[in-house]
Copies of this chain bind each other. A is one copy, B any other.
């Protein structure tokens, strides 16, 4: 995941909308892009410094009573140019790594029930995300009816919803396959976690 530092453009993109502190940037990221590109404090502060050195952002001290100082960063014209150039540049890449699939792939020495438990864990995590994305998408849909400005946010939310649904659907199918295999050998052991919802929608709320 080296080369072509995307973090830089995330910070520029958020600052183009509104000047912010490093802390604020992190909060914004957690509420928006983090699902498809997460950035931690350990990257934000050093990156802001190099952006300042390159004059793509300016650092201004913001008012604050007590505690450490607060610094507000604003994007410069140069920063906007750099961002625009990147946005127009083709050849996007995606990086996906799934530990669970590695374990499943090599999991022939595990019992079906062990593999099922692992998948159920995965399912639970993705189901939560799926529900969050769904609520998100719904509220954006309502907002968009009056104001189409949120379309780009909506597109990313619908991406999330689609992918998380696919995760959950796969998990259910995989569990069903392994359960068939399990009952063919073992007595039908019902683990207490296998109280599954028929549709992903009804899960945790």
Contact = CB atoms under 8 A, between A and B. Distances in A.
A87 B105 contact: no
Interface string A139-178: 0000000001101110110110011011101100110011
A101 to B, nearest CB: 4
Contact of A87 (B37, B106, B173): B106
A90 B106 CA distance: 15
- Chain copies in the assembly? 2
A63 interface: no
B173 A158 contact: yes
A118 interface: yes
A166 B200 CA distance: 15
A24 interface: no
**Interface range for A:** 35 or more
Given A6-B97, A97-B95, A102-B9, A166 B156 contact: no
B105 A33 contact: yes
Contacts of A61: none
Nearest to A9: B102
Given A114-B88, A162-B169, A102 B36 contact: yes
Interface in A74-110: 83-84, 86-88, 90-110
A186 interface: no
Contact of A158 (B107, B163, B170): B170
8 contacts: A9-B102, A32-B105, A37-B97, A37-B99, A94-B100, A104-B155, A108-B149, A158-B174
